[in-house]
Every structure is written in structure tokens, then in C-alpha cells.
């Protein structure tokens, strides 16, 4: 038996290839059937040749809602029939970072769909410890957990307090994921973007009270919303080196700047600009295992509504034809979901 899988072979090229059926799961592994796959900025960047960690050819797909088909020996956390979200960061448990509780930045980390083949295929085998079970959530909801986890971890890194003002730069999926957790904390939330349509989505659908469209008045507009002192926390989710460079000048005294987006270009800033407010620079990479279980619990409890997220759906067989449209913001795509099965 052979199955089709979508392979990201080179920048700007998607092809359908035949691949062997997955092997049986070994010790500590699980065979999963893929039902839903979310398309995210990493997939778009890889398609455009702008993702620094990509190697080609590559089967993309790391936002996954899956069903367990079979498990290998020693697996106790999941069983056949379980519906799961996938934590796609395959780390070495014995690495220095993993032993210190930081598997998200393990020196030997391999992310599904980036460093190794991902889940945009009917079935595959992965370590069972990377599966997070839900008895209540749909496969579509489970495919959104990884996106939310990126935002959850960025907010954790920022150590945001309820009495602080928080600026999120970039209203794409990662920015939207981040704002979900800022809202849960109760901090004052401001979203900045160049795209008026996305800012309208933040206001109308995501309940964001304060939005700013990028202009030469950004700093003045921010000061009007923050009693003149600029935001305490700035989270840049753009992946734009220009935006990330400018963000150093938008932080309040004693504030924090968090880069959750990633760029292949250099980021520049004049040291006095960031030294004067005694700013702190943080990077946020991937997410932690506990972020996944935390988010599943929040969705199950109704504290995060996933319904507004999905703006586009496509069948697996149609993806190659429609994928280029996901690179164009004017199509209004926030989150596209690929349907592989019922």
C-alpha cells in the first residue's frame, strides 16, 4: 500500500508524491491517523523559501488533530481511538535543555514539518509522549492547539501582570494566539498592524478594544493609550526585521520586548534607545508540553472560543491549487484548515 502526501520540495513548489505506508510503531511510539491540519506562518514561509530552519524536500504540517491507530510497547499515555493534539517539537530527552525543563529549545530539536516530515499525510508514526488527549474537543479544535501554544508561551515569557499595558505587533495567527492569553490575564491590550482588515477582525471578532494601524504616528498613538509612558510589554509577532528593529523604541521604562516572530534578516537598533529604559529583550521559541494540556483545558472549559479562528477550509486533494492564495493577505485568510478525514 502506498499513500499520497503533500511534500514541500523547494521554495514556491508543492508536489504530490507517493510515500510508503508508515511502519508499525516501535517502543514508546504511536501510529496516528491525521484528520485535520492547520496551515500557519511557518508553512507559508517554507513555501516562499523564507524559513531559516527548513530543508527540502519536506512534508509540511505541524498543527494537527489526530486519532491514535496503534501504540508500541511501553506506551501508557494514549490508546487506540484517542483524539489528540500533537506537540510537534521532537526533542532529545537527555539533552541539556530538556533536562532543565526547556525541551522547546533542545539543541537537537527537530520540528515536524520543518526539520523532519510533518503530518500533511494520512498516517505517520511519532513518539507517543508528544500526544495530548482530549475526550471533548473536535479534531479541528485539536489542530488549533499548537498555534495557541505559541502565543501562550510568549505570554508566559513576558510575565505579564494585569495592571500592565501590552502591545502586540502583528495581527496574524501568532499575534491572535498571543492576544488570547493577554485577554485572560486582564492586561490592557493594544494591537498594531499595517492591515486594516485584520485590525477590524481583532475588534469585531476577537473583542480587542484598542487597535492602531501602522503610520508615522505610532509612538504618539501609543502614548495616548498608555498615559504617556508607552507599553510595558511589546510582543512582536510579525517576523519582519523592520518591525522588530523599530520595536526597541516602543518599550516603557523597565519594560520587556518579546520576539515570537522569526526573521532570516538582521535586526538593528541603537543601543541607547533600549538601554535608556533599561529594557529586557526576550525570545519565545515554540512551546512547552504543559502549554498544550493547559490550552486543551481552557478550550474544554469554554474560556477560549476557537470558532472565529478558522476562515478557510480545503480538502487535501485541493490543497496544491489553493495553497498560493494563503500567501496573500487580501484573501482574508486567518487560519486555513486542511481536511484529511471525518
pLDDT the model gives residue 45:
81
131 or 10, higher pLDDT: 131
Q: Map the chain to HEC letters.
A: CEEEEEEEEECCEEEEEEEECCCCCCCCEEEEEEEEEEECHHHHHHHHCCCCCCCCCECCCCEEEEEEEEECCCCCCCCCCCEEEECCEECCCCCHHHHCCCHHHCCCCEEECCCECCCCCCEEEEEHHHEEECCCCCHHHHHHHHHHHHHHHHHHHHCCCCCCEEEEECCCHHHHHHHHHHHHHCCEEEEEECCHHHHHHHHHCCCCCEEEECCCCHHHHHHHHCCCCCCCEEEECCCCHHHHHHHHHHCCCCCEEEECCCCCCCCCCCHHHHHCCCCEEEECCCCCHHHHHHHHHHHHCCCCCCCCCEEEEEEHHHHHHHHHHHHCHHHCCCEEEEECCC
52-56, 166-170, 240-244: least confidently modelled range: 52-56
pLDDT bin (cut points 50, 70, 90) of residue 62 is very high
pLDDT bin (cut points 50, 70, 90) of residue 15 is very low
pLDDT the model gives residue 41:
81
The pLDDT tens digits of the residues spanning 79-95 come to 999 999 999 999 999 99
- Compute the distance between CA of residue 314 and CA of residue 140 in angstroms, rounded to an integer: 12
pLDDT the model gives residue 2:
35
134-170 as b/e: b if 16+ CB within 10 A: beebebbbbbbbbbbbbbbbbbbbbebeeebbbbbbb
Does pLDDT of 3 surpass 80? no
pLDDT the model gives residue 20:
59
pLDDT the model gives residue 109:
95
pLDDT the model gives residue 37:
96
Q: Are 127 and 310 in contact (CB under 8 A)?
A: no
**Burial class (CB within 10 angstroms; exposed 0-12, middle 13-18, buried 19+) of 58:** buried
Per-residue pLDDT, averaged over 325-342, amounts to 86
Whether CATH 3.40.50.720 fits 150-283: yes
* Number of CB atoms found within 10 A of residue 327's CB: 14
Domain ranges for the chain: 2-133+309-339, 150-283
For a pLDDT cut of 70, what percent of the chain falls above it? Answer: 93
**CATH topology identical between 2-133+309-339 and 150-283:** no
Per-residue pLDDT, averaged over 136-162, amounts to 97
Q: CATH number for the 2-133+309-339 domain, one of 3.20.20.80, 3.30.300.180, 3.90.180.10, 3.40.50.1950?
A: 3.90.180.10
The pLDDT tens digits of the residues spanning 150-168 come to 999 999 999 999 999 999 9
16-25, 319-328, 333-342: least confidently modelled range: 16-25
Average pLDDT of the residues of the chain: 91
- Compute the distance between CA of residue 337 and CA of residue 139 in angstroms, rounded to an integer: 11
The pLDDT tens digits of the residues spanning 242-301 come to 999 999 999 999 999 999 998 889 999 999 999 999 999 999 999 999 999 999 999 999
Does pLDDT of 121 surpass 70? yes
The model's pTM is 0.89
pLDDT the model gives residue 11:
42
Amino acid at each position: 500500500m502506498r499513500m499520497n502526501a503533500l511534500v514541500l520540495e523547494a521554495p514556491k513548489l508543492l508536489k504530490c508524491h507517493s510515500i510508503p505506508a508508515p511502519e508499525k510503531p516501535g517502543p514508546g511510539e504511536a501510529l496516528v491517523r491525521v484528520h485535520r491540519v492547520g496551515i500557519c506562518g511557518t508553512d507559508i514561509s517554507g513555501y516562499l523559501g523564507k524559513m531559516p530552519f527548513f530543508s527540502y524536500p519536506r512534508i509540511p504540517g505541524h498543527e494537527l488533530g489526530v486519532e491514535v491507530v496503534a501504540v508500541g510497547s511501553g506506551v501508557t499515555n494514549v490508546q487506540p481511538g484517542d483524539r489528540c493534539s500533537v506537540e510537534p517539537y521532537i526533542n532529545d530527552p537527555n539533552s541539556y535543555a530538556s533536562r532543565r525543563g526547556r525541551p522547546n529549545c533542545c539543541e537537537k530539536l527537530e520540528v515536524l514539518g520543518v526539520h523532519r516530515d510533518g503530518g500533511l499525510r494520512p498516517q505517520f508514526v511519532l513518539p507517543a509522549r508528544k500526544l495530548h488527549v482530549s475526550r471533548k474537543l473536535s479534531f479541528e479544535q485539536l489542530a488549533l492547539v499548537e498555534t495557541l501554544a505559541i502565543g501562550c508561551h510568549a505570554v508566559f515569557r513576558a510575565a505579564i501582570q494585569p495592571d500592565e499595558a501590552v502591545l502586540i505587533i502583528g495581527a496574524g495567527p501568532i499575534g491572535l494566539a498571543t492576544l488570547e492569553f493577554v485577554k485572560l490575564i486582564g492586561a490592557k491590550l493594544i494591537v498594531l498592524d499595517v492591515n486594516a482588515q485584520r485590525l477590524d477582525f481583532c475588534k469585531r471578532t476577537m473583542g480587542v478594544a484598542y487597535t492602531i494601524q501602522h503610520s508615522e504616528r505610532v509612538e504618539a498613538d501609543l502614548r495616548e493609550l498608555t498615559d504617556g509612558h508607552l507599553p510595558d510589554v511589546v510582543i512582536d509577532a510579525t517576523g519582519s526585521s523592520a518591525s522588530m528593529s523599530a520595536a526597541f523604541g516602543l518599550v516603557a521604562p523597565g519594560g520587556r520586548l518579546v520576539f515570537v516572530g522569526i526573521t532570516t534578516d538582521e535586526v538593528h537598533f541603537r543601543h541607547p534607545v533600549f538601554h535608556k529604559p533599561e529594557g529586557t529583550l526576550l525570545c519565545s521559541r515554540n512551546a512547552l508540553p504543559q502549554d498544550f494540556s493547559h490550552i486543551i483545558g481552557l478550550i474544554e472549559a469554554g474560556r477560549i472560543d476557537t470558532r472565529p479562528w478558522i476562515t478557510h477550509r480545503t480538502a487535501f486533494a485541493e490543497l496544491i491549487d489553493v495553497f498560493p492564495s494563503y500567501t496573500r493577505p487580501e484573501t482574508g485568510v486567518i487560519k486555513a484548515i486542511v481536511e484529511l478525514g471525518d
